[in-house]
Amino acid sequence: MVELSVLQERFGSGITEHVFRDNRRVDVPAAVLFDVLSGLKTDFGFSVLIDLTAVDWLEYEGATDRFTVVYLLLNMDSGERLTVQTALNLPNPTLTSVYSLWKAADWMEREVFDMFGITFTGHPDLRRILMPEEFDAFPLRKDYPLKGRGERHNFPVITRSGS
């Protein structure tokens, strides 16, 4: 098990720990996130990026930051799981891409970009993945309504005569 004190000693004291049931999570400042993830991968054996996702905290009572990006890691040898989380804020939520560590991050980061508008510097091909290219909103943000903003009605349709 990775001790919190070891992480704090190496990556600064801004790292905090949170345990709920069998889920162990460390909260990491965005500035050292890449170093922490890369250290966890190379030195602590967290070889698998199980999932990468984000949460919008806009409507959550008592939340201080707008977004968190969540990395779920797995140590293949010991079976240990660890969640690494970092907070981001508007107007420019940006993180360093972890594509160089895990190729699996390619599509996961594209999905987070598509759904939340969080950009990843160093990503080889950061395009929308699920929504069409013309779409200009970020659907999983909490200020985006469930029924959309009329994109569906105003979507360009190619008619038989106009094509």
Residues at the site binding other proteins, with contacts judged by CB under 8 A: 20-23, 25, 47-51, 53, 55-56, 59-61, 70, 72, 76, 79, 81, 83, 102-104, 106-108, 111, 115, 128-132, 139-140, 146
User: Least distance from C-beta 131 to other proteins, angstroms?
Assistant: 6
- Name which of 132 and 156 has its Cβ closer to other proteins: 132
CB 94 within 8 A of CB 117: no
- Name which of 8 and 68 has its Cβ closer to other proteins: 68
User: Least distance from C-beta 9 to other proteins, angstroms?
Assistant: 26
CB 139 within 8 A of CB 113: no
Quick one: tokens of 108?
Answer: 């996961």
If one counts every other C-beta atom within 10 angstroms of the C-beta of residue 131, the result is: 15
To the nearest 10°, the Cα dihedral for 43, 47, 48, 51?
A: 20
User: Least distance from C-beta 29 to other proteins, angstroms?
Assistant: 18
- Name which of 157 and 161 has its Cβ closer to other proteins: 157
* Burial (CB count within 10 angstroms: exposed 0-12, middle 13-18, buried 19+), residue 33: buried
What's 119-140 look like in SS3?
EEECCCCCCCCCCCCCCCCCCC
User: Least distance from C-beta 127 to other proteins, angstroms?
Assistant: 10
- Name which of 12 and 96 has its Cβ closer to other proteins: 96
- Name which of 43 and 51 has its Cβ closer to other proteins: 51
User: Least distance from C-beta 122 to other proteins, angstroms?
Assistant: 17
Quick one: tokens of 70?
Answer: 């969540």
| Chain centroid to CA 56 | 11
